[in-house]
Every structure is written in C-alpha cells, then in structure tokens.
A and B are shown apart, each in its own frame.
Chain A
Amino acid sequence: MARKSTSASVGAGTGSESGSRRTAGASGKVREETLGKIGALGKAVAKTALAEDDPFVNVPMRTMSNTSYNEKRRLLEMGDATLRRNLFNTAQARKFMQTLLLSKGCKDLLEAQKTLSLRGMYYKSLHTIAGTKEKTFEDQEESDTILEDIEVALTTLRENLNLFAKKRGTMVGNITVIDNGDTIDCRRMGTGGYAIPSICEPSIIQFGKCEAKFVLHVEKDTVWSRFNEDRFWEKHNCILTEGSGQPPRGVRRLLYRLNHELGLPIICLLDCDPWGHYIYSVIKQGSINLAFESQRMAIPDAKYLGIRSADYTRCELSEDVKIALNDRDTERAKQIAEYPWFAGKKHWQKEIALMLRNGFKMEVESLITKDISYVTEVYVPERLKAKDWID
C-alpha cells in the first residue's frame, strides 16, 4: 500500500526557470494510450447506462489468493480473478462512483500534463455529494485503494496516470543520473544524498556515467547516513540506497533499472526481523498488493547480506541488543517461511528457524555497540569479501 503523502503540491517540472517549458508525467505514446484506456472505461459505462443496464468495472483482485509465484521467472504474478464492481449493488455503489470520479481526475491530470501526489489527487476529487452530507472520500486511504484499482483495471501504471507517492528513499554513489533534464552527480550529494523521485521511469530518469560495481541497499536513512559519512560507496565503488523501511515504488523501480540496465547486483542490509525479511522479499519477488508490477520491479537476483541471526554470536554482540520477538513477529515469521518463494530455500528456512529459536530480533544499529563504524568498516566488507549472503 502506498503511504500517505503530506504534500499536495503539483509535481510539475521547474522548467520555467530555464526558459523552455517542460511538461511533467507521461508523454507521447504512453500518455495517449493511458487516456485511451480511461476513455474506454468511460464509454463502456456510458453505453451501459444509456442502454439502461447496470454499469460495471472489472477490477482484478489484489489478494494473496489471486497471486502466484512463478518459479521460472522467480517473481510474483497476479492471477486472472477479477471483481465486477457494479453500480446497482448497495455494497459497491460508492466504490463504483469513486472509481469513475478518480478516473476522471486522472484524465484531467494527463490532459493538463501535470502530476499529482496521491494526496493531491485525493483532494482534487474530494467534495460533498450534492444534496447529501456525504463526502466522496472519507480519507486518503479510501482514494489510494481506488487508484490502485484503476491501475490494475486499466492495466496501466500509477506513473502513467501522472500520480506519485510521497517521496521516500535516498541515493548516493558512483553514478550520474539525468532527472527530467537535470544532470545529477550522485558523487557530490553531501550529507543529504539524492532524493529518489517517486516516478523513476526512463522518460524522466536516465542513467549517465556509472563506475559502481554493485548497489548496497539499506533499510533506513539512519544506517544510510552512517555509510555515507564513512564514504563507504567511495571505498567500495558502489551505489548506496535506502528506502525508509518498505521501499516505495520509486526506489524499487530505480533498483530494478540499476540491476537490469546497468547489471549491478543488489545487496540488501536489513534488520533481522520478519519485517526486514519481507522488505527483502518485496525487493526480490514483488509484493502481493502490487503483484501486477512485479515484472518491472522485482529483482530476483537481489541478495540478503544481513543482519543474520547467527551474527549475535558470530559478532559477539552484547545481551542488550536483543529485542524479544512478540506474538505478531512470531506469527509473521512463520507466515513468511511458508510463502512459496521462501519455502524451497534451505538457507532461509534455517535463518528463520534460528531467529525463532533465538526468540529475539536485532536491528542493523545493534552493530554500533561494537564500534561506531563497525558496520561499515568490518561487518559489511567482511561479508562482501566472503560473499556471505543468502539468496
């Protein structure tokens, strides 16, 4: 699920400064195609309505039951099951209305050649229904869900609808990118790093010169800062990214492109807990909710470097770093172990079993107890050298 964004700002380019007006979002063929799809949806509804029948939209189901793991391609795929969303069904009428309302919103956006955050789109479509006290949306979450429905129903992408989520994720390293025409040298980003945009499509982001040999993706920015301050990317000739927890689509898309287009291996440094494991799973196989996008986001070759359950003894960590697993953690860990894409992997079964046996989890920061730069100077380099990761 996309997170709520706080900004309603229009994400149009800052082109006016440089004189030539630039447009934002999808362009050319993609834009025409997306507009065509929205038009088709509208026409189908209009036609059914004029025929005095019950209009509907078919929405593919985004549930575990409609998601399957493709062993060969090593990623999650969405099944064919769809839900028919009818107007004349008391349980669906409101959602049907919202679907049309947001479709119209996306159409407006594409025609204006501007982009909006999810929150922006929520506000754009928010009003009180004439003659009632009911609002079109109760909260942003209601609108976000419908937007994802539209994405799958139109077999398009949020990016193509000119929508973006709140920006999250940072990058730094031996690479140059061109972002909407601006050249950005990721070697010279200071302490803050380059904020990975929400839309990382080739039409917006192109890669320039790249010396890096791999990508180290860490879970959150606190850890990332440690690595950046220690100039890890420079010493080890790599790209350093973080995704603020569960990486947003922009980050995943960027990692995918770095992997696919530049052939860089993706190595992940995540917390040793079920949530860390699932972040890895999403990067590698795709998420259940966005299974339809796996093929353009999943990185089946991504590796899991740590933290590993064995590190507690291997690195001789103190008692203090242990965080006891609660019931939810235990349950989630078991659930993850049973996912088909984990089920066949001995390393992972062992890893999860050990964590459950230990009864505690550990964060990446726990390594700081050894030394401030233990993680950047000892832990990661040693693992890299030994190619000690799990797949």
Chain B
Amino acid sequence: MATIAAGMDASPKARSKPADGRRGATAEEMAQKQREISVSEFFAKNRHLLGFDNPRKALMTAVKEAVDNALDACEEAHILPDIRVELLQRSETRFKVTVRDNGPGIVRQQIENIFGRLLYGSKFHRLKMSRGQQGIGISAAGMYGLMTTGQPVLIISKTSKKKPAVEVLLKMDTSKNRADVVSETEHPEDDGLFPDGHGTQVSIEMEGRYQGGRQSVDEYLDQTAIANPHARITLVNPSNETIEFKRGTNEHPPEAKEILPHPKGIELGTLIQMVERTERTQIGSFLQEEFSRVSPSVAKEICERAGVTNRTWIKQVGHKESEAIYKAIQDVRIMAPPTDCLVPIGTKALLSGLLKGVRAEFFTACTRPADVYRGNPFLIEVGLAYGGELPKDELIRVIRYANRVPLLYQQAACASFKAVLETTWRNYGLSQSRASLPEGPLVVMVHMASVWVPFTSESKEAIADYDEIRKEMKLGLQEVGRKLGIYMRRKQRMRHEGERRSIFERYIGEIAQSTESITGTAAQKVYDSLMRVAKRKTEEADAVLDDEGRRVKEQDPLGKDDSVVIMESRIAAAPTDAGGDEEDAPAKGGRAQGSLFGEDEAPRSRRKRGSGN
C-alpha cells in the first residue's frame, strides 16, 4: 500500500552516483517522478489529520462520522433519529463497527460516492448548518478499515417501503479516490433492519481498541445525546451490553436554512473564482443574487466605490476590477448576515439533554443572540450542571460542541476551553487557580452553531480562536455563571441557616426541661415558644444576608426562570432540621461507568421542568 507519493525521496539510483561525480538529479529526472497525488492517498498517509491517529481514537472517530451523518440525514428528512451503534470485537485489536439509522436512505447511485470518495458530499459547497461539512469523514473511516484489515465496507440502504434494501460491498481505490463495488445484492425484505421502511446501515471492519472513559465511544455518545435530545441512540458494546440513550424530547429541531455567503466573509480569491463561475451577466445582479444582504442600493454603492456600475458586464471584470470590488465591499456598510439559518439547540432542549445526562442538582442554560465572524453567522449556547453526584474535588469538566457534535480531543486548543479559562469563576462561588479550570462539581457545555464552524484541523477537534467567537462564549458563560452564583449563595445561606437552626433546636429541649423543673412553667410551652423563636431568628438572618449584602424580600431571582432547573432530590444532604419535615430522598450512588451519566429519574423539580416531554 505504501506507494511513494512524490519524488522527493532520494532513489537508489541517485544514491549510487559516485561520490566524486557530485551531480544531483536533473530537472528531467525529477520530472519523471513528479505526479499527481490523490486526496485519498494524501489522507491515507496522513490519517492522523482525520482523527485516525491511534486505534482507540480511530474507533471513536469511525463511530462519530457514521453517527454524525445519520443525524444530519434524519434532520434533513424530518425524521426523529433512532440510531443503533454496534461494536463487535473480532479479535484483540479488530472490531466491526456497525451504525444503523432510520434516515431517508441513500439512492443506489450515490452509495459509491458517499462512502467511497473523499471530499465528496452535499455539505461543503453550501452555507448551511450541519454536522458534517467537508465530505471526508465516513469515507475516511472506510478507507482506514480497508487499510488496517483489508476488508471492504458494507452498506445496506433502503429508501422506501416499496423498494428492497440494497446491500453493497465497497472497496476503495485510494489512487483514484473512487470505490470499486465488490458485490451488490438486493437485501431480503423481511430483514427487520429498517422497521420504518427506510434507513442506512454501514459496517466497517477496522483495527481499534475499545476502552471506556474519557474520549471513548461511550463518551462521544453520552455527549451526543445531551446535545441531541431528540435522538434515541443505542449502543451495543463489545461485551454485548446494550446501553440506551433515551429521547429527551419528541420535538424536531427546526430545519436549518441554507444561506448565501456574506460579502464581508469572502476573500479576494473566492471572489475572483465566483466571478469566473457565475452565470449572471452583470455585476449588479451578481452581487445581489449570489450574496446575502446585498440590496440594489448596496450593490450600487459597492459598484460606485469600485469604479464600475452595476450594469458593467461580468465578462469585463478582470483581476483589477475584482480587487476594487473586494476593497469596496470592505468599506461599505452591509447588514449582518441573516441568522435565522442557525438552529440553536435551545434552552429547553439543552436543559432536557443535561438533565437526562448529568446527575447534578442545578441546571441552567442560555442561548446567545447570533453574531458574525468573517461573514459567517454563528451563535453560542452554554449550559451548566452543578452539584449532585458530580465529583467535588476535581477540576470542572468542559464539554464542547460544534453544530451539536461533541468535540473530544484537543481541548486546550479550542476557543471554548479558552473562554472557560478566561471566565472568573470565583465570582460564582467556585475556586479557581490562575490560568486553570475552576474546581468543583461542575460540568460546563459550550455549543457553537454556525453555517461554517472554523475548525483548527480536518479532524474537527477544536474550534479556531476567533475573537468574536470567544467573546460570545464568554458572555454566555457569564450569563449561566451568574445564575450559578445566585444558586450557590442561596445554598450557602440555606446551609448556614440550617446549621444555626439545628444548633438552637438541639438545646431547646434541655432548656425547656430545666426551666420547667426550676419554675414549674410547662416545658412544652417553653419548648414551642423557643422553637418559634429559633425559626424566626434563622429566617431573619436569612433575609439580612443577601448576595450583595442588601436586604431583599421574598424574591427568588431563580424563581421564575425557565432556564433553570433544580433537582431537590440530588442536593447533597446538608444538615437538616432536627425535627423538621425533611424530605428523604438521598441521591443514589453508583454512577454508570464513571461517566456523566446515571439512570433516568423523574426530575422532582420545584420549578418548571425544562423539557417538552
């Protein structure tokens, strides 16, 4: 498989030249070795760029690519996703990864392209919010499988109830960036693979390593479930255990709209290319039709500044004119791109995802208004879960998403991680050392939704650090942080008050007895009176201590907040009233696989439950 991609390596011939001759290769000799490199070949050699650096990561990446595609397809087809992931262990290092969805299926003709070619897909050329964007992922996974095990990729797809499912075995030819069909059969109808009458299943045999914990298949699915509460995901792991991530809501996320590029977001080269390719004949219509937010008057202004008119023929636009137009675009005020193309997960769904996934006591989330970086609209959502069964003495966890896809690697390089570091968590009641994550039972999730997410690499592991993006992230973090702060202070007060009260109440019985013995005043009367005083005293103290030291009346800032859910039953047992009517609902122990997840539980929320379930 190891073909030499380019002629840079010294050949045996070149090396055998006598030392005294000292003649290097001629241009002609070199030319003989110079040839085109196919993308597939390039990525076959550089598979780490696509997330196949090591067997463990490769397994996760393969699952991720398949699941992302499935979710994208379901969403586009308005289907509530039902995804099944099976990991079958063939040998110590060999796995068969099977991912099946109930999506719309793939028409026969496209199967080779989608699964067999790199950089082939529907998502690259358009500006629309989706999980995949480059058209690399799933074919790269298939290629990796073929390279490590020699086994072709098996695809079964069914597009409608009326048509039989097709089963295709594909073998990729890296030098041609194309796939050869090894076999093709019509799959028996009664298989029951696709109860909905449509769907796709892909199986890849590959080298891998299955291990739970951080950056595992499990974690990826955990986090996917949080950001996609409308999806039902089932994992059958190599030990043949079935783990189900239930649906948190039956509401479809609204479909993302495709938008045209914004003039401010393109570079000169792109502009020149667009001019060359456009079917419009005049500059004015070109600008108005191929960009967003260019009205006739804006188009006119751009043209005037560039020294052309909007009737100037496209054919006459050369390099010089393009450059002038490019400059003009930068100077003209243009409305920000439309943001209705962005589909946030939404506060409600975020909360239901977090509630479902994290056994914490306090949840809050926020969706920031959309903003623009480099002409691309984006928006940031931040969620937060605190307390409960989360570990107390560790650094907090940051879970990152881009277009609902969890990002598990390269945390430190990610804008969202930096934004978390730059937030002053001490203001919200957590301890934080300089330039590090705060400590405490906290999970923070940051989601970036955009028509184009600027990743730092093709393996899509970290969001590039644009100022606009990081700023929005910080604003979001501060918003949820403030709510956490309010909650923390309230909890502190409650604890303080509870302790005080319990100290008093502990002794009141003794005092009442002694008083009766000395004076003959009925102990019960003294007891009742003193208990009332104890209640009042501790409440008084409560009212006096406000977050900023001001006196506030019965007003709970978290009270009517839809973006906050408090799970009373998970609040760690604080000292309770001696004779109080305490609700006994201790948090259950034993978190599943050391992950964020525990079993489902009906939230006993004092306020509105976030989910629409």
Contact = CB atoms under 8 A, between A and B. Distances in A.
Nearest to A44: B519
A101 interface: yes
B25 interface: no
B578 A46 contact: no
B8 interface: no
Contacts of A93: 503-504, 506-507
A100 B519 contact: no
B533 A129 contact: no
B521 A52 contact: no
Interface stretch (A5-13, A130-138, A355-363): A130-138
Contacts of B372: none
Nearest to A108: B517
B593 interface: no
Interface string A90-112: 10011011001101100110000
Interface stretch (A35-43, A170-178, A278-286): A35-43
B529 A96 contact: no
B604 to A, nearest CB: 27
7 contacts: A42-B521, A52-B533, A93-B506, A96-B507, A103-B514, A104-B517, A107-B518
A100 B511 contact: yes
Nearest to B523: A46
Contacts of B500: 90
A352 interface: no
Interface string A157-191: 00000000000000000000000000000000000
Contacts of B509: 129-131
A93 B517 CA distance: 19
Contact of B579 (A51, A100, A131): A131
A41 B514 CA distance: 11
B266 interface: no
A53 B526 CA distance: 11
B526 A100 contact: no
B515 A87 contact: no
B515 A90 contact: no
Nearest to A43: B519
B514 A88 contact: no
B308 interface: no
A50 interface: yes
Interface string B572-594: 00000011000000000000000
A49 interface: yes
B541 to A, nearest CB: 10
A49 B521 CA distance: 11
A153 interface: no
Contact of B506 (A38, A53, A88, A132): A132
Interface centre among A41, A53, A55 (most CB of B within 10 A): A55
Contacts of B503: 90, 93-94
A75 B189 CA distance: 112
A50 B525 contact: yes
B529 A87 contact: no
B537 interface: yes
A107 B515 CA distance: 11
B532 interface: yes
B79 to A, nearest CB: 59
Contacts of A142: none
How large, as a class, is the contact surface on chain B? 20 to 34
A353 interface: no
Contacts of B515: 42, 45-46, 49, 100
A306 to B, nearest CB: 50
Nearest to A41: B518
A54 B506 contact: no
A52 B525 CA distance: 11
Contacts of A131: 506, 509, 578-579
Given A87-B530, A88-B537, A129 B519 contact: no
Contacts of A45: 511, 515, 519
Contacts of A132: 506, 578
Contacts of A103: 514, 518
A134 B517 CA distance: 22
Contacts of B526: 46, 49-50
A45 B507 CA distance: 14
B510 interface: yes
Given A52-B529, A87-B511, A129-B509, A104 B504 contact: no
Interface in A12-70: 38-39, 41-43, 45-46, 49-55
B534 interface: yes
Given A90-B503, A129-B509, A104 B514 contact: yes
A104 B516 CA distance: 9
Interface residues of A, number: 33
Contacts of B579: 131
Interface centre among A49, A87, A136 (most CB of B within 10 A): A49
Nearest to B534: A88
Given A49-B526, A50-B521, A129 B514 contact: no
Contacts of B511: 45, 49, 55, 87, 96-97, 100
Contacts of A38: 518
Contacts of A101: 510, 514
Contacts of A108: 517
Contact of A46 (B508, B519, B537): B519
A41 B30 CA distance: 110
A41 to B, nearest CB: 7
Interface string A256-299: 00000000000000000000000000000000000000000000
B582 to A, nearest CB: 13
Contacts of A55: 511, 530
A129 B506 contact: yes
Interface centre among A88, A93, A97, A132 (most CB of B within 10 A): A88
Given A50-B525, A129-B509, A87 B518 contact: no
Interface in B526-553: 526, 529-530, 532-534, 536-537
Contacts of B512: 49
Given A87-B530, A104-B518, 12 more contacts: A42-B518, A49-B515, A52-B536, A88-B537, A93-B506, A96-B511, A97-B514, A100-B510, A101-B510, A101-B514, A104-B517, A129-B506
A96 B537 CA distance: 17
Interface string A119-134: 0000000000111101
B510 A97 contact: yes
A108 B514 CA distance: 11
B533 A54 contact: yes
Contacts of A46: 515, 519, 521, 526
A251 B530 CA distance: 44
B534 A136 contact: no
A88 B504 contact: yes
B526 to A, nearest CB: 5
B382 to A, nearest CB: 39
Nearest to A91: B503
B520 to A, nearest CB: 9
Interface centre among B513, B517, B519 (most CB of A within 10 A): B519
B581 to A, nearest CB: 15
Interface in B339-363: none
A100 to B, nearest CB: 4
A54 B537 contact: yes
Contacts of A94: 503, 507
Contacts of A53: 533
A102 B532 CA distance: 25
